[in-house]
Amino acid sequence: MTNSLKVAVIGAGVAGLATARELQRESLQVVVFEKSHQLGGTWAYDSRVEPDLLGTDPNRDVVHSSLYKSLKTNLPRELMSFTDFKFSDKVYGDPRKHPGHEEVLKFLKDFTSHFELAELIRFNTMVTRVEVADSGIT
């Protein structure tokens, strides 16, 4: 058995999950590093508000969220699909053409489950440095 290339993907948002899926499809050893406790990236809504908007307090509780509660996408479902996993095939309770962030997150969770990507994700892991390593990912 030959050793396959080990690849790190930073972030379990849309781009990271799609990248992990394609690398997995090529039979590469993939690890996805996600700094938060959940997947979804931009689509993971957090109702908290950043307490220090200028970021002057290094001990502040950092809130990563660019969503608001009633946000709907500006793209129709058909354009939010992956080639092998269609958004329009899923039923999440709201039939309107432009889904809300809750539906997008459910879609990403379904995508992750369908392609068994969750086992590749290391949650609560912030990447602070990246370099090529001969010994692989640790």
Which whole-number Å values give the CA distances from 31 to 3, 52, 75, 93, 117, in the listed order?
A: 15, 32, 30, 33, 9
Phi, psi of 96 (to 5 degrees): -65, 155
Return the CATH number of 6-47+63-122, one of 3.50.50.60, 3.30.70.20, 3.40.140.80, 3.40.50.300.
Answer: 3.50.50.60
Q: Where are the domains of the chain?
A: 6-47+63-122
In angstroms, the CA 20 to CA 121 distance is 9
Query: Does pTM top 0.75 for this prediction?
Result: yes
pLDDT tens column, 36-66 = 999 999 999 988 887 777 888 888 877 777 7
Q: What is the reported pLDDT for 21? A: 97
Q: Residues 125, 130, 136, 138: is their CA dihedral positive or negative?
A: negative
